[in-house]
Amino acid sequence: MLTDKVAKFFDSIRDKEISNYNNYWSQLQPRFIDEAFKRYVFAFLSVHTTWENNCKAYNILKDFKKWKDDEALLHKKLVQSRVGMHNNRTKYLNKFIKDFWSDQAKFVVKEDEESWTEWRDRLVKSILGLGKAKVSFALEMMYPVEAQVACMDTHLFQVYGLDQSKNSKYYNTIEADWVDRSNKRGLAPYMARCLYWDKNQNRKNSRYWSKVLEK
């Protein structure tokens, strides 16, 4: 595991960037259960696709009350979105809809005695179609300036000098390192991840993609 690039990135973070990201993402933290549910929908749509297609699909599906009780319409909208994996996403989302709305607290509230990683790992076992990274992503979007988990995707594996397809066993190790470095620098792990991703895209903030979450 290599950490030189990681250390250099954290050293480059300016206080003003932390303030700007905290202020913006705090405003996007879900206040209502419908918004929390839609963060999970966004995470489901982010699997094996580009951020552009992720956002396009989300815009088509975000009015979920139209399709949450209509599996055929859900499939139709997924096909329309061209996000891929239409049959599997239909199956995964259809199951998640039933699970989420039958026990909302399980998916949006961490139990007092649980750590963030324990909550994440418990959810991974019960959410069909989302692995550790994407469940973490959903929690990041629900608790952007609080969550102590991180979506360690293929890009972050590469920053650590690892190949996600071959080195997935190191997930917890690099996540713990990322979380620790974030806390020492004084920002949430997700804020650090957004900063890293946005800088890689040559963007000054997250709104080129996150604006779909604003409405």
Name the burial class of residue 127, with classes exposed (0-12), middle (13-18) and buried (19+) by CB atoms within 10 angstroms of its CB: buried
**Residues 121, 138 contacting (CB under 8 angstroms):** no
Whole-angstrom distance, CA of residue 138 vs CA of residue 109:
12
What's the whole-number mean pLDDT along residues 109-125? Answer: 97
pLDDT band at residue 215 using 50, 70 and 90 as cut-offs: confident
* Residue spans per domain, the chain: 1-29+144-215, 31-142
pTM for this prediction: 0.95
**Residues 174, 2 contacting (CB under 8 angstroms):** no
Fold for 31-142, please state it. Endonuclease III; domain 1 (1.10.340)
pLDDT at 202 over 90: yes
The better pLDDT of the pair 148, 1 is held by 148
CA 120 vs CA 72, 115, 153, 172: distances in Å: 30, 9, 15, 12
pLDDT of residue 179: 98
Whole-angstrom distance, CA of residue 61 vs CA of residue 42:
9
